[in-house]
Amino acid sequence: MTHFIFFHGIGIRSPFWNSIVPKLEEKSLNYSLVDLDFSSLDNAFQSSKDSVKDIIKKYPDRNIVMVGHSLGGLFATYVAQSLGDDIHKLIIIASGVAPKQVSIKAIQQKQINVLYKTIKKFGMQMMFKGYLPSWLTQSMFFTKNTPKEVQRKVWKDAVREKQSFLMEYFKSKKVWNNHFKRVHFSGPDNVLIIICDKDKLVPKHASMYLKDHLNGSYKVYKDCGHNDIITSEKFNKKFIDDIVLFSSI
């Protein structure tokens, strides 16, 4: 029997999954929506692992499938690498990590874009702290495939993250690369990376790097924004079908 564990991303908690809960119930799937502790990066790591251990203890006979969106995808990966054989499958959505080593060409390109990246980072900090109006930021997360009414509902459930956590998050590239240095959970039958091709937050190359690092399978959802895969009726039914099928392999 399969049990899906869902990890949310930054700036939101388990209500992010509200759009797919009726579909999970309709299919009589076993699932848990976990609220991660984003008071600090260390607490987030600890809460991610502890929450899954508690669920495994409660349901020892179930096959655990980790499903993580955005930053939650990295924490789901961390849990899978930490718990190994206790995890059945890993599904990572709209998430990725940049390689530790980059080419000279990439460094030059980074230098060219340094002003843009600085402005973008500042803007994202303001956004996750809740200081930017929703009309300005919603286009970063959604496309027109998610109705405005649904976008507003998600925005009402948004969480203002602490400045200290945001600073840790934006400087965490080395932390993630260290955690993922030694791969204990990998393979195309065990790991599925789902890429949203209209994602304005996670570059495709970051998702592909994580896919290659974990030797995983991957799917690309066309015309899909960062959150659309969960919040849009156009994509979330297919998403449920895809994760159910992958969990049965």
Q: What are phi and psi of 10, to 5 degrees?
A: -80, 145
| pLDDT recorded at residue 111 | 43
Give me the pLDDT at residue 178, please: 87
- The whole-number pLDDT of residue 126 equals 53
Do 190 and 217 touch, CB atoms closer than 8 A?
A: no
Structure tokens at 30: 């076993």
* Distance, CA of 93 to CA of 96 (rounded, Å): 9
Distance CA 66, CA 190 (A): 10
Cα–Cα distance, 205 to 29 (Å, whole number)? 32
Q: How far apart are CA 204 and CA 201, in angstroms?
A: 10
The pTM (predicted TM-score) of the whole model is 0.88
pLDDT at site 170: 85
Dump the DSSP string for 21-33: HHHHHHTT-EEEE
Three-state SS at 63:
strand
Q: In DSSP terms, which residues pair with 45 in a beta bridge?
A: none
Name all domains of the chain by residue range, CATH numbers in brackets.
2-247 (3.40.50.1820)
SS3 212: helix
Residue in the block written with tokens 């076993």: 30
Structure tokens at 118: 């600085």
Cβ atoms 16, 93 nearer than 8 A: no
- The candidate with the shortest Cα–Cα distance to 147, out of 237, 240, 228, is 228
**CB 36 within 8 Å of CB 63:** no
Q: What local confidence, expressed as pLDDT, does residue 125 receive?
A: 53
pLDDT, residue 116, reads: 42
Residues in the chain, pLDDT under 50: 102-112, 114-116, 119
Angle of helix 148-156 relative to helix 134-141, nearest 10 degrees? Answer: 110
To the nearest 10°, the Cα dihedral for 11, 15, 16, 22? 180
CB atoms under 10 Å from CB of 28, counted, come to 6
Residue given tokens 């932390």 in the structure block: 175
